Amino acid sequence: MTTAHDLTFVSLDVPSEYPVERGDLSLALAGAELIDLLAAGTVALDGLVLRPVSPGGSGDRLLDAAASQAGQEPDESVTDWLWRRGDGLAAQYLAAAGADDGGRRRPLWNVRRAADRPAPADPSARDRATDRWADGDPVLVGLAAAVGVRHETADQAADPEDDRIATVLAAVHDAVVELATTRQRRSIEEAAFDNVWRGM
């Protein structure tokens, strides 16, 4: 399994103060894919720009799809990749995890009883994600923090030693903040519009 699959299980299984927003999760999943592609040498970073290196396959359908897209756009930045690849990505990973929620905006699997959770096709997948989370893996903890899932050691977690990973994590955090700002602005605009109609 991949970091993105592990992040999907964490977002579903680990209780968080607020439900994980699907858009936030999509951005973080795109970042998780990119981190795995960098680690595999499939893509490289030239500053903040993605460069294709080797198209080798991973054996994972979703990660291989990401590999086929990485670095193909001219001078695509990490941030641009997150927005392009992340479009609708959460739905694909939720379906792969056996947690297709019928298109609901927020996956709320983490509030269900364990017995009600659908089992993944590979039963070891959740165990791997759980073990990685329990070990405080800095990549998984960093990505989960971006979508609002906190690990008990999150504030003390060491920064990743790999500058490329740190670059991706920072871009994910910035993109999630930007999305939250956009979401808030739209909410304010919709509320103002409703007030105008009420006053007429």
Q: What is the pLDDT of residue 36?
A: 95
What is the DSSP secondary structure assignment for residue 159, as one 8-state letter? P
pTM of the predicted structure, to 2 decimals: 0.83
pLDDT in tens, the chain (200 residues): 799 999 999 999 998 888 899 999 999 999 999 999 999 999 999 999 999 898 777 789 999 999 999 878 889 999 999 999 999 999 999 999 987 654 444 444 444 434 444 555 567 889 999 999 999 999 999 999 999 998 876 554 545 668 999 999 999 999 999 998 988 876 666 665 555 555 55
Q: What is the pLDDT of residue 191?
A: 61
Count Cβ atoms below 10 Å from residue 174 Cβ, excluding itself. 15
Which run of H or of E encompasses 50? Answer: strand 49-52
Q: What is the pLDDT of residue 116?
A: 46
- C-alpha triplet 56, 60, 61: angle, nearest 5°: 100
